[in-house]
């Protein structure tokens, strides 16, 4: 069976974008693939994280996977740092990947910003760790958004060079991207040109998976729009980014086409659409929210799921060392 690896960073408040862009797909994919879902805490620390907050966020991401419907008994759910193979293989890949390859990575340039000299070395070699995450399990497919495509190409280059260097032609697979229909990119509720993000300082910019019905209603009511009524066509919606974003959220949550939703709401007051969106969001996110609360009230249970996942992950990940020539007395 084909195998998927995917991860989410425990870097703050999980939000609707993480759900629609990643976690919901994790649930859907488990019917057709063997799935390994990781809370990538080592990636998270490429930027400073408060230790206590990192622990809390790690449990929150694991709880969100389970609450959304990932079957942690059938699939593997664990946190990255609990399986040493990720860092060990990443070190091997630091020695396989070339500086020139890493220098081309656009995400490093974006995240490091103008102050490149002051970025962590971890942020620079982050793509090698991502390659290790994927190849430690010989994952055949990775669901990727636009922003991660370049890193997956690097993973394929690393796999190919490793296989050549060590004369093991088929050891690492050339992992394929998994494109899941039209990508859902959820934008900030305050600014339709910025993506919804865990690290946005404004809590009103996002719907957190831990928000209750009142908080969801308040944030949708306050979401930035314009004074015009609902647009009639998709082309008209596209000229109004905040409106287009709410329409996209409605479409994704209801699994309906944008055109279908516009046919229902065209020309109506925006407040009627916001009310319907609130009801829909509460209906879809309410059960996940309740289950996350239940799970987070029992951290011992979440830790046990992660521990069990790590044990099963470790059993798959340890094969590479003999090939490299590491003595393991
Ligand atoms: N706004 C979004 N719309 C759709 N998908 C999104 N994802 C993130 N934001 C959106 C998807 O969620 C998964 C987990 O992402 P990550 O934890 O690796 O970090 P990220 O992409 O950097 O997410 P954030 O929320 O924006 O976090 P910060 O603020 O820490 O950078 C990925 O599959 C991502 O595509």
| Residue 256 sits in the same domain as residue 308 | no
Domain membership of residue 210 (yes or no) is: yes
Bridge partners of residue 38, in order along the sequence: 7, 78
Helix %, strand %, coil % of the chain (to 5): 60, 10, 35
| Residue 280 sits in the same domain as residue 313 | no
| Residue 277 sits in the same domain as residue 313 | no
Ligand 1 in contact with 22 (CB < 6 A)? Answer: yes
Local structure of residue 156 (DSSP, 8 states): H
**Whether the Cβ atoms of residue 175 and residue 140 lie closer than 8 Å to each other:** yes
Q: Give the nearest ligand 1 atom to 143 CA.
A: 33
138 counts as catalytic: no
Number of domains in the chain: 2
Which among 74, 138, 194, 195 is annotated as catalytic?
A: 195
* Range of lowest pLDDT (81-95, 255-269, 310-324): 310-324
CA distances to 39, 131, 181 from 306, in Å: 9, 21, 30
Residues 6+ apart with CB under 8 A from 123: 46, 47, 108, 111, 112
**Whether the Cβ atoms of residue 258 and residue 251 lie closer than 8 Å to each other:** yes
Domain membership of residue 184 (yes or no) is: no
Structural domain that includes position 272: 203-292
Task: Compute the distance between CA of residue 226 and CA of residue 247 in angstroms, rounded to an integer.
Answer: 14
Domain membership of residue 172 (yes or no) is: yes
List, for residues 155-211, the tens digit of each pLDDT value.
999 999 999 999 999 999 999 999 776 657 899 999 999 999 998 999 999 999 999
CATH number of the domain bearing residue 241? 1.10.240.10
Which element (helix H / strand E) includes 143?
strand 141-143
| Residue 58 sits in the same domain as residue 171 | yes
Ligand 1 centroid–CA 57 distance in Å is 14
Domain membership of residue 30 (yes or no) is: yes
Residue nearest to atom 2 of ligand 1 (CA): 17
Residue nearest to atom 32 of ligand 1 (CA): 22
Question: In the predicted model, is pLDDT for residue 106 greater than 80?
Answer: yes
SS3 for 73?
Answer: coil
> Does pTM surpass 0.95?
no
Ligand 1 in contact with 145 (CB < 6 A)? Answer: yes
CATH number of the domain bearing residue 22? 3.40.50.620
């Amino acid at each position: 069976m084909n195998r998927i690896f995917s991860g989410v960073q425990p870097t703050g408040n999980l939000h609707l974008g993480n759900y629609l862009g990643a976690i919901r797909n994790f649930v859907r994919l488990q019917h057709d693939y063997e799935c390994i879902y990781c809370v990538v805490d080592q990636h998270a620390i490429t930027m400073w994280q408060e230790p206590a907050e990192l622990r809390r966020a790690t449990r929150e991401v694991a709880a969100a996977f389970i609450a959304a419907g990932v079957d942690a008994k059938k699939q593997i759910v664990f946190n990255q740092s609990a399986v040493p193979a990720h860092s060990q293989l990443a070190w091997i890949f630091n020695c396989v990947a070339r500086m020139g390859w890493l220098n081309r990575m656009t995400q490093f340039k974006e995240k490091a910003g103008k102050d490149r000299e002051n970025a962590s070395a971890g942020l620079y070699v982050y793509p090698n760790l991502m390659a290790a995450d994927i190849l430690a399990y010989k994952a055949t497919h990775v669901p990727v958004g636009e922003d991660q495509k370049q890193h997956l190409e690097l993973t394929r280059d690393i796999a190919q060079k490793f296989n050549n260097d060590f004369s093991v032609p088929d050891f690492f697979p050339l992992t394929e991207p998994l494109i899941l229909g039209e990508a859902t990119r959820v934008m900030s509720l305050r600014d339709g040109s910025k993506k919804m993000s865990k690290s946005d300082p404004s809590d009103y910019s996002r719907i957190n998976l831990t928000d209750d019905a009142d908080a969801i209603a308040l944030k949708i009511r306050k979401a930035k729009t314009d004074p015009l009524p609902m647009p009639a066509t998709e082309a008209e919606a596209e000229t109004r980014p905040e409106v287009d974003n709410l329409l996209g959220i409605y479409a994704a949550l209801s699994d309906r086409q944008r055109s279908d939703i516009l046919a229902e709401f065209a020309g109506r007051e925006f407040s009627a659409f916001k009310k319907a969106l609130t009801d829909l969001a509460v209906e879809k996110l309410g059960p996940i929210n309740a289950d996350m609360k239940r799970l987070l009230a029992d951290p011992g249970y979440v830790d046990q799921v992660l521990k069990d996942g790590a044990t099963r992950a470790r059993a798959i990940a340890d094969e590479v060392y003999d090939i490299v020539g590491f003595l393991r007395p």
